[in-house]
Amino acid sequence: MLNRKSQIEMYLFSELSLIPLILLLALWAFGGWLILARFELPAHERGLLGLGLGLTLAALLANLTARFLPTSLAFWLAGILTLLIGVVLARPHKLPITNFQLPITQWFAFALLAFFLTLIGRGLGIFDDYQNLTQLSSMALGDIPPHFVYDPRILWSYHYFLLLVAAQFTRLAEAPPWAAMDLARGLTLALTLFYGAFLARRLTGSRVAAALSAGFLFFVGGARWILLLLPASLLNRISASVALIGSGADSGSSLQAVLYNHWKIQGLGPFPFPFLYGSGLDPSLTMAHAGYGASMFMLVLMVMLLAGKGKGWIQQAILAVLLAALALANEVTFAFLYAGLIFAVLVWVIRHRTFKLPASLWAFAPAVIGGGIIALLQGGVFTGLLLGIFGQVGGSETSEALYKVSFALRLPTVLSAHVGTLSLLNPLHWFVILAETGLAVFVLPWAFRRGWKLIREEKWLEAAWVFSMIPSLLTIFLEYTGNAGPTALSRMTAHFLMVLKFYAVPLLWLWAKEKSETLQIALLGWGLAAALSGIGLFSLQIPAMPNPIYAEFIAPIDAKMYQEHWGRLQPGALVFDISPQRGPTVLGLHTQSGIHYGPPTYPEWYELADNPDPFAMNRAGFRYLYLELSYWRKFADHFDDSCVVKLDDMQETASDGRVTAQRVLLDVGQCR
């Protein structure tokens, strides 16, 4: 059961320092807005695009400055540098202050949406907070580029862009990791939805289409409920042909049975989610509660909205920054965008029957190449891959990076993280594939037609996004054999569906504009059906808003210990906790328990846990011990030696004086 506090002191604004937060956001927004003085943009887009650009540039600068400076200084410096860059770039130009426009209604709607989405996140702890909160806590104290929290000898070669944003909220606005992560997700998701509306408005010229497109982008995902439309006998045959995996297997014994069950995942709010509203391939953005949230889509939309709107080296530099940030936000989206550019170029070559590429393509070469170079050097997955290659060439150990990437060929198969492998050669699986992908898949012909038009108009970066569907679709012939789990492939296959969601409303709006009202009503019905699962899941998340939580593994007493000790212990020290994810989150330190996020994998960790000895723990590298009530009662006498320093002993008691919770923080650094 999640630990909840209904008291007003845990409401969002009381969990952080509002003035530093507003100042930080102002540095980002004003700096980005000034930079965009060099871009020809509609007035209603400039402000929010400036905020997104400032946020992105500050995150990459923080990723650099935090390697040399304390994070408080590094993060403020990143924000100030963002503003200074804007001032320098805008100064030779006619400053936009002379024609300054502030769309109050738009900014109010954005702030309300970001606040609303953040509150929903505060009431939920689903997906991988056990992974992200631990890393975020140590990153905010200076572990940048981050190392694996469960074994700091390993580089955390992962997508940590959004954690960089959240780390600034933790360090500067004093938001605890569980609040900072939700704030970062809510902010970037709100920007994503507004940017999606901007794109639709550019294509259609209609505000109604823009609003509908934002709603489609947010709500549309899988449509597992359509399986209930099938005859029972057919559904029974389909169910017998698939093998559930992951949370699907946890939720029911068969596909037919699980459609009527609740989805068994951790961190839910007051109401459980029906399994038939989920998708193991394409969940809607209402479920963007993972460590990357919607940040990669925010960045892609910024690239599309800014490409071709600026001139010279400034445009190239800004696009390079956005592309590099995309690599740090989600390596799959970055790789597919670059692969999509290659496919777009191939289509152009075939169409024109020449290898002499147009000047319009070469004009973006500095941005594309520059973004790729930064991606290799800045940290994250591509830096980890580069280190692995160097290790193999040099004959040295290549395990410094946490994740390894490898693939094998197979017959065309779609992998769902819930329903398992679905063969395209099995007609029974076609129904399940449609249910997992959702109804947006029918927009595919319009999307490729849009890609063809973009190639003719030589709008290369947007064309790259459309043609990134090709490598995504080709993943049906691949099996992921790396160490991130086989379901990592489902994110790759689902990529093409996100491309479709960007364009579904504006392209169908333009196509159906002169068609009959009957067809237009039918398309509206299709859109509502496509969004049904997302609307259902979102409606069940709203009741979580007034009940903020910490995390599955964080109790109220841990939050109090966080307030007392986070950032006040020896940097770089290791902490031992019988719950490996709890101590690192509360104290901002690493531990050494294994190479996975789940239960510890190192035998020596279990030896220390079963027979704790302060001298042995010190020799193993642990300086601090963070112990809970049951463990302390069992082994308190093991820590009687005078070398053990008790830094804190916090207790919570019931009305009868009985101790209900306890956390003991010990320092065994002198036990040699």
Q: Which residue has the tokens 């738009």?
A: 106
Quote the pLDDT of residue 395: 62
Quote the pLDDT of residue 568: 95
Report if residue 477 sits inside a domain.
Answer: no
Strand 413-416, strand 622-628: pairing: unpaired
Q: How many residues does the chain have?
A: 672
Helices and strands of the chain, counted as H and E runs: 28, 8
Quote the pLDDT of residue 11: 62
Of the candidates 153, 157, 214, 158, the residue with the CA atom closest to the CA atom of residue 189: 214
Q: Which residue has the tokens 């400076």?
A: 69
Residue 199, pLDDT above cutoff 60: yes
CA dihedral 43, 49, 50, 54 (to 10 degrees): 180
Q: Which residue has the tokens 């937060």?
A: 21
Residue 48, pLDDT above cutoff 70: yes
Q: Which of 169, 202, 217 is the last residue of a domain?
A: 217
Report if residue 155 sits inside a domain.
Answer: yes
The sign one gets for the Cα dihedral 578, 581, 584, 586 is negative
Quote the pLDDT of residue 398: 46
Report if residue 265 sits inside a domain.
Answer: no
Hey, which residues does 178 pair with through a beta bridge? Answer: none
From 15-29, 377-391, 630-644, the region with the lowest mean pLDDT: 377-391
Q: Which of 169, 188, 217 is the last residue of a domain?
A: 217
Of the candidates 439, 45, 431, the residue with the CA atom closest to the CA atom of residue 216: 439
From 101-110, 513-522, 612-621, the region with the lowest mean pLDDT: 101-110
Report if residue 637 sits inside a domain.
Answer: yes
CA gap 501, 499 in Å, rounded: 5
Quote the pLDDT of residue 460: 95
- Is 543 in a helix, a strand, or coil? helix
Locate 510 and state its tokens.
Answer: 């333009």
pLDDT one-digit tens code per residue, 623-645 = 999 999 999 999 999 999 999 99
pLDDT one-digit tens code per residue, 280-324 = 999 999 999 988 999 999 999 999 999 999 888 999 999 999 999
Quote the pLDDT of residue 128: 63
Q: What is the mean pLDDT of residues 209-220?
A: 97
- Is 460 in a helix, a strand, or coil? helix
pLDDT one-digit tens code per residue, 446-473 = 999 999 999 999 999 999 999 999 999 9
41 Rama sector, left if φ>0, alpha if ψ -120 to 50, beta otherwise: beta
Residue 100, pLDDT above cutoff 70: no
Buried b (16+ CB within 10 A) or exposed e, 65-75: bbeebebbebb
pLDDT one-digit tens code per residue, 479-505 = 877 666 667 788 899 999 999 999 999
Query: Residue 178 in contact with residue 129, Cβ under 8 Å?
Result: yes
From 392-406, 408-422, 429-443, 550-564, the region with the lowest mean pLDDT: 392-406
Reported confidence tier of residue 1, pLDDT bands at 50, 70, 90: very low
CA gap 338, 376 in Å, rounded: 14
CA gap 545, 631 in Å, rounded: 34
pLDDT one-digit tens code per residue, 276-288 = 999 999 999 999 9
In angstroms, the first-to-last Cα distance of the chain is 40
Report if residue 425 sits inside a domain.
Answer: no
Quote the pLDDT of residue 464: 96
Residue 515, pLDDT above cutoff 50: yes
Reported confidence tier of residue 519, pLDDT bands at 50, 70, 90: very high
DSSP classification of residue 179? H
Reported confidence tier of residue 6, pLDDT bands at 50, 70, 90: very low
pLDDT one-digit tens code per residue, 418-439 = 999 999 999 999 999 999 999 9
Of the candidates 617, 605, 604, the residue with the CA atom closest to the CA atom of residue 667: 617
Reported confidence tier of residue 8, pLDDT bands at 50, 70, 90: very low
Report if residue 299 sits inside a domain.
Answer: no
Quote the pLDDT of residue 7: 41
The helix or strand, by DSSP H or E, that contains position 413, with its residue range, turns out to be strand 413-416
Query: Residue 151 in contact with residue 601, Cβ under 8 Å?
Result: no
Quote the pLDDT of residue 386: 84
CA gap 26, 170 in Å, rounded: 17
DSSP classification of residue 549? B
CA gap 628, 586 in Å, rounded: 13
459 Rama sector, left if φ>0, alpha if ψ -120 to 50, beta otherwise: beta
Quote the pLDDT of residue 3: 44
Reported confidence tier of residue 387, pLDDT bands at 50, 70, 90: confident
Write the secondary structure of 552-606 as one string of H (helix), E (strand) and C (coil): CCECHHHHHHHHHHCCCCCCCCEEECCCCCHHHHHHCCECCCCCCCCCCCCHHHH
pLDDT one-digit tens code per residue, 153-188 = 988 888 999 999 999 999 999 999 999 999 999 999
Chain mean pLDDT for the chain: 91
Locate 502 and state its tokens.
Answer: 């960007």
| pTM of the model as a whole | 0.94
Cis peptide before 42 (omega within 30 of 0): no
DSSP codes joined into one string, 495-511: HHHHHHHHHHHHHHHHH
CA gap 311, 41 in Å, rounded: 12
Hey, which residues does 554 pair with through a beta bridge? Answer: 551
CA gap 460, 364 in Å, rounded: 8
Strand 478-480, strand 407-409: pairing: antiparallel
Reported confidence tier of residue 597, pLDDT bands at 50, 70, 90: confident
Residue 219, pLDDT above cutoff 90: yes
Of the candidates 624, 562, 596, 548, the residue with the CA atom closest to the CA atom of residue 177: 562
The sign one gets for the Cα dihedral 266, 270, 274, 277 is negative
Quote the pLDDT of residue 2: 41
Q: What is the mean pLDDT of residues 392-403?
A: 60
Close Cβ partners of 105 (under 8 Å, ≥ 6 residues apart): none
CA gap 188, 33 in Å, rounded: 17
- Domain extent, residue 633, equals 556-667
Of the candidates 242, 272, 274, the residue with the CA atom closest to the CA atom of residue 256: 242
671 half-sphere exposure, CB direction, 13 A CA radius = 26
Q: What is the mean pLDDT of residues 23-49?
A: 94
Quote the pLDDT of residue 4: 40
Residue 5, pLDDT above cutoff 60: no
* C-alpha separations of 418 from 259, 280, 497 in Å: 12, 5, 17
Calculate what percentage of the chain has a pLDDT beyond 90: 80
Calculate what percentage of the chain has a pLDDT beyond 70: 94
Close Cβ partners of 657 (under 8 Å, ≥ 6 residues apart): none
CA dihedral 547, 551, 552, 553 (to 10 degrees): -140
Report if residue 355 sits inside a domain.
Answer: no
Q: Which of 178, 202, 217 is the last residue of a domain?
A: 217
From 98-102, 378-382, 407-411, 585-589, the region with the lowest mean pLDDT: 98-102
CA gap 612, 624 in Å, rounded: 13
Query: Residue 129 in contact with residue 181, Cβ under 8 Å?
Result: yes
CA gap 552, 1 in Å, rounded: 8
Total count of domains within the chain:
2
Of the candidates 27, 37, 137, 43, the residue with the CA atom closest to the CA atom of residue 94: 37
Residue 655, pLDDT above cutoff 90: no
Locate 43 and state its tokens.
Answer: 């007035």
Report if residue 226 sits inside a domain.
Answer: no
Q: What is the mean pLDDT of residues 132-149?
A: 94
Quote the pLDDT of residue 540: 95
Q: What is the mean pLDDT of residues 194-207?
A: 96
From 22-36, 64-78, 87-101, 148-162, the region with the lowest mean pLDDT: 87-101
